Amino acid sequence: MKLILIGAPGVGKGTQAKYVVEKYGIPQISTGDMLREAIRDGTALGKKVKAVMDSGALVTDEIILDLVKERIAKDDCANGFLFDGFPRTIPQANSLVSQNIEIDHVIEIHVPDDEIVSRLSGRRIHLESGRVYHVHHNPPTVEGVDDITGEPLVQREDDKEETILERLKVYREQTEPLVSFYKEMSQKQGSKLSYHKTDGNGDSDDIKNVIFDILDN
């Protein structure tokens, strides 16, 4: 099973990815993890990545694809994998096709932008412990303070509305075109790819069951 989850920041991809990994025993592969592992292992490719990153330049799509090919050749990918944060762009998706890296399922998790802003901007964090609250869905007993320590809660920069709106803008410009790309691919004659769109609103267990039904059928 080779799977890609697509969706804007805050739709719950991370939560659903964990469910899929646990149920089907496939690894979750992120570009960030691959970059760190390559540098840590000191492979020829890892040294190349380190040199690029040390220079302050962006890692090219060509290097990312080489990392992907190296990673999915490992034993734990024998039964498949789940791509996390890859591909992000049409050129990256085209690179997978040109390298004959087949994908079985693409699942889009959709949540309206106003709900995403509400979800993320309402988060409050106790920095020392990492405890997470939400002003509407999981509020602290006393507004603005941690239940255990009584210390103040903070809103991370990433959770501020203006930051969220900028992240959504980048997603719409760079990653959302993948929706059309994979829809069209799934409709081509002889394609093995299945594309599904699922509602990301509601209970995470209900969304999980919808995704499991897609993958099991």
Q: Which two tokens stand for residue 137?
A: 């869905």
Of the candidates 48, 50, 69, 88, the residue annotated as catalytic is 88
- The reply to whether 167 belongs to the active site is yes
23, 156, 172, 192: which is the annotated catalytic residue?
Answer: 156
The catalytic position among 167, 183, 197, 208 is: 167
Say which of 2, 13, 119, 124 is annotated catalytic: 13
Q: Is 124 labeled as catalytic in the residue annotation?
A: no
Q: Is 156 a catalytic residue?
A: yes
Give the containing element (helix H, strand E) for 133: strand 132-134
Residue carrying the six token digits 């267990």: 205
Specify whether 123 is catalytic: yes
Closest CA to 83 of 28, 42, 33: 28
Which residue is associated with the tokens 């069951």? 209
Distance between CA atoms of residues 33 and 48, nearest Å: 16
Inter-residue contact 40 to 143 (CB < 8 Å): no
13 as an active site residue: the answer is yes
CA atoms within 13 A on the CB side of 215: 25
User: One of 71, 119, 123, 124 is an active-site residue; which one?
Assistant: 123
The single-letter DSSP state of residue 159 is: G
Contact 95, 86 (CB under 8 A): no
Tell me which residues are annotated as active site: 13, 88, 123, 156, 167
